[in-house]
Amino acid sequence: MIKRSYAELVTIPDYHGRLEYLKLLDNNRDSPRNISEQFFKSSMWRDIRDKVLERDGRFDLGIFGIYIDGPVYVHHIDPINEEDIINLTHKLLSLDNLISSSLDSHNAIHYKPKKDEYVERKPGDTKLW
C-alpha cells in the first residue's frame, strides 16, 4: 500500500497535482462507515479537525488562494479502515495524515476515476460523458 502524507503533499505546488496525489484509484476500498460515525462525533476528532482547519486556513487542499466557500471536509490522506478506528491508531489523528478539502475535491478524491481518453461523439450517441 502506498503511504501518503501531508509533508509530501505540500511539496506539490498546484491544485491538480495535489488532487491526483490524493485520488483513491482503487474504489473498492473498504469503507469503515459502519463504525466511523461515533469516532467523527468524538471530542478528540473535533479537536484535531480544528487544528487542521487552522493550519490550512480553509484553503482547498492547502492551496493558498483557493478558499473553501461552504462546508470544509477534513480528509485522511492515507485512508483509514475499521482496524484503525477500533484500535485508535496514530493514523486517525495525525496532522501529517489530514488535509482540508471542499466537497467537490473530497468527492473527486473518493469517487471520480481518472479521465478516459477522448471519445469522439457520433450521431445517435446517447451516452453522456
Write the pLDDT tens digit of every residue in 26-40. Answer: 554 566 777 888 899
Q: What is the pLDDT of residues 63-104, one digit of tens each?
A: 999 999 999 999 999 988 889 999 999 999 999 999 999 999
Q: How many domains does the chain have?
A: 1
Domain assignment of residue 123, yes or no? no
Residue 74 neighbours by CB under 8 Å, 6+ apart: 49, 52, 53, 98, 99, 100, 101
Confidence of residue 117 (pLDDT cuts 50, 70, 90): very low
CB atoms within 10 A of CB 24: 15
Domain that holds residue 19: 6-25+33-111
Query: Which pTM does this prediction carry?
Result: 0.80
Domain assignment of residue 94, yes or no? yes
Q: What is the pLDDT of residues 36-59, one digit of tens each?
A: 888 999 999 999 999 999 999 999
Domain assignment of residue 78, yes or no? yes
Q: Cα separation of 84 and 116, whole Å?
A: 33
Domain assignment of residue 97, yes or no? yes
CB 34 within 8 A of CB 84: no
